[in-house]
Structure 1
């Protein structure tokens, strides 16, 4: 369903979708904002829904880039309540359910936004997607960017935690490992073919150091990237910078010119 949305002075084309997901075995909802431009995937905060992009005013923050046809955003649902958030549940099952959600993104969401963007922009090739999220959404965005650089050619991650310990504690198996960036990147071979992809893309990982922020794993990734020569802009903001939307709006406005440049 295609429609236009005008809210708080924002006017942009939107499309709503509700489709059955083979990867997840259920219907999933999403919404696309914009009429042209590079595709961007927005992953909501912990336990979030696709409409958070609009309800928490991130659509308004990105409106200058959406309305000018520079980006087209697809906002999706999380299943965090079944995976990272369900800390009393069976971690073996939860991490495998999370991997199904990853498959949903890679096999269903990315092709959808690539197709729409290609159709609108007239591109011959399938463009890569910019992964974007805040808080646990940033955790997922970085994981997708690092695991699938042939699909994601940009990343903007704000206030994430980049260890699977956050959701799975001391439990570790091969599936947890492959979804824990500080673990798999620490052992990432510098002669891996992905290195050329990382070096040709633009990614930002940012975290404040104020209330409710947890910057330790951001610092860990910064050290790993520097040791391996991976050009990710890892940026720590001040001790007054809280884990909150007001700061994420400022960070988005600050970093978007770099991501799109």
Structure 2
């Protein structure tokens, strides 16, 4: 399985960024880490190993960019307004420095996005904000309401980065073309969040697959089962 390490200075974020890329060819999948996870987390917890066959066969190529959650949602040392602004810079970074170059290189209009836990939020938020850039969204035990990180603060920036708020009013036509999977465990701490997002999608008649796994908790073992299943849908 081919693995490449990339490091570059991000003009968007004004800092060095690292990323691992797995596979030699195939459809691009942007895979976000969990809450405080780094670009190597999905490798360390064997999520990459769980889809080794797809990588070896050249069916997919997986890009694991770093996160800046410690500078945004989880940074209690700055005002909530600054937290969400930092995330907006990260969203711009993913679009301009990760997704757009990949699309240009591969001659594609769209990519797939995926992530476990808080990576599921990252995948969903990016996909629903930029549906013209996302063909598939695979969330594994994601949570989709970030108001709890805002200490009661709320503004337009929070609204437009909170899928539970902005998605009901979004009518971008590509939302109805996206292949959406909401994976969650029966005993998952994010079960209710997935049920709420599923209702929003249902109310809008946006096609999706709600995949609730029995006897499963919010942890890597179920995500290692989900991810290859979801990639098989590509």
Return the TM-score normalized by structure 1.
0.85
> Would you say 1:248 and 2:230 are equivalent positions?
no
> Would you say 1:183 and 2:165 are equivalent positions?
yes
**Whole-Å separation in 2 of the counterparts to 1:60 and 1:17:** 20
CA, structure 1 residues 56+112, in 2 after alignment: closer, same or farther (shift >3 Å)? Answer: farther
Query: What displacement does 1:256 show?
Result: 2.1
Out of 172, 190, 194, which is 1:218 matched to?
A: 194
CA offset digits 1:126-149 (Å, max 9, x no partner): 241110100000001000111101
Query: What displacement does 1:23 show?
Result: 1.0
Can you give the 5+ residue segments of structure 2 that lack an aligned partner in the other structure?
none
> Would you say 1:137 and 2:122 are equivalent positions?
no
Can you give the 5+ residue segments of structure 1 that lack an aligned partner in the other structure?
1-11, 119-124
**Whole-Å separation in 1 of the counterparts to 2:27 and 2:228:** 17
Out of 88, 93, 97, which is 1:99 matched to?
A: 88
Query: What displacement does 1:243 show?
Result: 0.6
The 3-state SS of whatever aligns with 1:81 is coil
Query: What displacement does 1:115 show?
Result: 4.1
2:71 aligns to what?
A: 82
CA, structure 1 residues 233+169, in 2 after alignment: closer, same or farther (shift >3 Å)? Answer: farther
Query: What displacement does 1:81 show?
Result: 0.8
Query: What displacement does 1:70 show?
Result: 0.6
> Would you say 1:229 and 2:211 are equivalent positions?
no
Alignment of 1:112-151 (within 5 A): 112-116=101-105, 118=106, 125-151=107-133
Report how many aligned residue pairs link the two structures: 234
2:44 aligns to what?
A: 55
8 Å contact 1:38–1:127 — kept in the other structure? no
Out of 182, 192, 203, which is 2:180 matched to?
A: 203
**Whole-Å separation in 2 of the counterparts to 1:253 and 1:13:** 18
**Whole-Å separation in 1 of the counterparts to 2:187 and 2:135:** 30
Say what the alpha-carbon RMSD is for the aligned residues.
1.5
The 3-state SS of whatever aligns with 2:183 is strand
CA offset digits 1:71-117 (Å, max 9, x no partner): 0011011111111112453101110001000000000011233344x
Query: What displacement does 1:64 show?
Result: 0.8
Highest Rg: 1 or 2? Answer: 1
The 3-state SS of whatever aligns with 1:160 is coil
**Whole-Å separation in 2 of the counterparts to 1:23 and 1:249:** 32
Query: What displacement does 1:40 show?
Result: 0.5
**Whole-Å separation in 2 of the counterparts to 1:127 and 1:31:** 22
- Between the two structures, name the one with larger relative contact order (CA 8 Å, sep ≥ 6): 2
1:22 aligns to what?
A: 11
- Deviating more after overlay: 28-37 vs 199-208: 199-208
